[in-house]
């Protein structure tokens, strides 16, 4: 992929997008550039993203750290050695236990090759990931943004991004997913960059009661 953003090009991608939208420009003027959030393309990273599904970032990180502490090194082969009781002791739910073990088996069998995903377009990456039990579009979106740094992804299943968009665009809480996606479409081909600005706003702006 030649169009990925990197740490060295991230600000230039932001500079292309920000002038096109006064609301994004307002975020930038108030809080500056977002952090360059990224993660390595590893089994541990995908485990982390699965653990983050539908729970707080803090509790997901707590479970990840417990697994690493227990295993010393978080690899597919080592994870498969853990019993259900040991997984539970690492704060991993029964459902996510099955997802993580399925992922570990897929990597060991060669069904999923993480390095190969680096040269694939968005939809091919999404198809490979969502073919696995426990990986849906949100997980694929986060992987595309944080790990592969693809520039044009909007994670519609991400509540923080969707709620920040509604807030900066002054949209009612009951705005539909389709309407949110329509707004996000205006940021093509830099929807990932817009998402990072929205997360930056979500984390930086004083919280106020939802409308």
| 9-35 pLDDT per residue, tens | 999 999 999 999 999 999 999 999 999
Contact 126, 137 (CB under 8 A): yes
Contact 170, 149 (CB under 8 A): no
- Shortest CA distance to 67 belongs to which of 56, 79, 58, 50? 79
Burial class of residue 160 (count of CB atoms within 10 Å of its CB; 0-12, 13-18, 19+): middle
pTM score of the predicted model: 0.93
**Residue range 166-193, pLDDT digits in tens:** 999 999 989 999 999 999 999 999 999 9
Integer Cα distance of 188 and 162 in angstroms: 16
Token pair in block for residue 125:
């990456």
């Amino acid at each position: 992929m030649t169009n990925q953003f990197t740490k060295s090009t991230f600000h230039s991608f932001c500079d292309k997008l920000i002038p096109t939208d006064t609301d994004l420009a307002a975020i930038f003027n108030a809080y500056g550039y977002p952090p360059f959030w990224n993660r390595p393309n590893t089994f541990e990273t995908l485990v982390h993203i699965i653990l983050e599904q539908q729970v707080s970032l803090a509790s997901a990180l707590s479970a990840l750290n417990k697994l690493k502490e227990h295993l010393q090194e978080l690899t597919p082969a080592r994870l498969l050695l853990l019993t259900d009781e040991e997984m539970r002791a690492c704060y991993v739910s029964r459902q996510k236990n099955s997802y993580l073990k399925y992922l570990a088996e897929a990597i060991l069998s060669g069904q999923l090759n993480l390095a190969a995903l680096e040269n694939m377009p968005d939809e091919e990456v999404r198809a490979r990931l969502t073919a696995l039990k426990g990986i849906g579009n949100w997980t694929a979106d986060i992987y595309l943004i944080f790990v592969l740094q693809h520039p044009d992804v909007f994670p519609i299943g991400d509540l923080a991004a969707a709620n920040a968009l509604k807030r900066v665009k002054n949209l009612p809480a009951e705005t539909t997913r389709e309407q949110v996606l329509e707004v996000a479409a205006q940021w093509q081909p830099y929807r990932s960059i817009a998402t990072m600005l929205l997360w930056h706003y979500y984390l930086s702006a004083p919280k106020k009661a939802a409308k």
